[in-house]
Amino acid sequence: MKLKNLLAAGVAAAGCAFASAALAHAKLEASTPAANAVVSPAPAQLRLQFNEPLELPFSKVKLVDEKGVVTESSTLVLDSANNKVLVAAFPALHAGAWRVQWMALTRDGHKVKGEFGFRVK
């Protein structure tokens, strides 16, 4: 009887592990500039790399400076060589702290969002 219960518990645990992996959402894996980076000169574009392919029409990126002024990206595209990378172009950025706020929709329909900061010297 103990062996039967032990086997049932093992099967249940394995099922939970696989279900968790299947329900995992996309995540930001890397960015250029990187989070908390100090850059000079100011970047003309930001690159956000995710772990899943993205749907461009439902994704966006904006910058917020230390005074709360929002700068929208002038263009937003998927990298032609990698559909997991969003490339956002911006007008010239002034020196100071910037917050990158992003929202992305993955091809499997999951919406994720986040933010990080960097500084222009």
**pLDDT for residue 26:** 86
Query: How far does the chain reach from its first CA to its final CA, in angstroms?
Result: 68
**pLDDT given for residue 4 in this prediction:** 57
Would you say residue 91 has pLDDT above 80? yes
Nearest one of 45, 30, 52, 57 to 116, comparing CA atoms: 30
Angle at 41 between CA 64 and CA 90, to 5 degrees: 40
Preceding omega of 33 cis (within 30 degrees of 0):
yes
pLDDT averaged over the chain? 87
Work out the pLDDT band at 30, boundaries 50, 70, 90: very high
Ordered structural domains, the chain, with CATH:
26-120 (2.60.40.1220)
Beta-bridge partner residues of 85: 49
Two tokens, residue 92: 């010239």
This prediction has a pTM of 0.79
Confirm if 45 and 61 have CB atoms less than 8 A apart: no
Q: Which amino acid is at 35?
A: A
Distance CA 1, CA 25 (A): 39
pLDDT in tens, 44-87: 999 999 999 999 999 999 999 999 999 999 999 999 999 999 99
